[in-house]
Amino acid sequence: MLTRRQLLAVSASIEWGAGVGFAIAPSLMASLIVGGSLDTPAATTVGRVAGAALFCLGTACWLTRDHGRNPVTALVIAMLIYNIAAAAILVTAATVSNMTGIGLWPTVVLHLGMAAWCLASLLSTPESLPAEGR
């Protein structure tokens, strides 16, 4: 029987692999998994954002695999990474592929704002395990 620690470590490895794969080669990953490709720059961008999300899910699993880290802090760290990655992917799509939708820049600003909030939370709050019963 696998322990929860082992389960989370294996889950982290799987999600990191899938996340990196989607971030680097989203069309190839889609082809391998569902037999279809991501034929447009927009689809590739969405695939990369999905890859970033999978990578951060793996990060959350890794950081919470043992009881040494507060799971809330682990999730804030994972969300910080996701928000930075999502903003960077979208800025790259806009500047390199000349992609522009009405919600692109507000979405970039939203992700950067959420990243700043995550960072501020991590810097201002000492890590401690939550009290039982909360």
pLDDT in tens, 5-63: 787 888 899 999 999 999 999 999 989 887 888 999 999 999 999 999 999 999 998 88
pLDDT mean across residues, the chain = 87
Cβ contact 37:62 at 8 Å? no
Give the per-residue pLDDT at 91: 95
pLDDT score of 129 more than 80: no
pTM: 0.80
Give the per-residue pLDDT at 70: 80
Output 85 or 34, whichever has higher pLDDT.
Answer: 85
CA 4 to chain centre: 22
Domain count within the chain: 1
| d(C-alpha 133, C-alpha 118), whole Å | 25
Highest mean pLDDT among 58-62, 68-72, 109-113: 109-113
In this prediction, residues 61-78 reach a mean pLDDT of 82
Per the structure, the complete domain to which residue 36 belongs is given by 4-124
Which tokens sit at 56?
């951060």
Considering the domain boundaries, does residue 10 fall inside one?
Answer: yes
| d(C-alpha 25, C-alpha 48), whole Å | 8
In this prediction, residues 75-87 reach a mean pLDDT of 93
Q: Whole-angstrom distance between the N-terminal and C-terminal Cα of the chain?
A: 30
- Single-letter residue type at 133: G
- CA atoms in the 13 A half-sphere facing the CB of 16: 13
| d(C-alpha 70, C-alpha 72), whole Å | 5
Considering the domain boundaries, does residue 38 fall inside one?
Answer: yes
Count the neighbouring beta carbons within 10 Å of the beta carbon of residue 111.
21
Considering the domain boundaries, does residue 129 fall inside one?
Answer: no
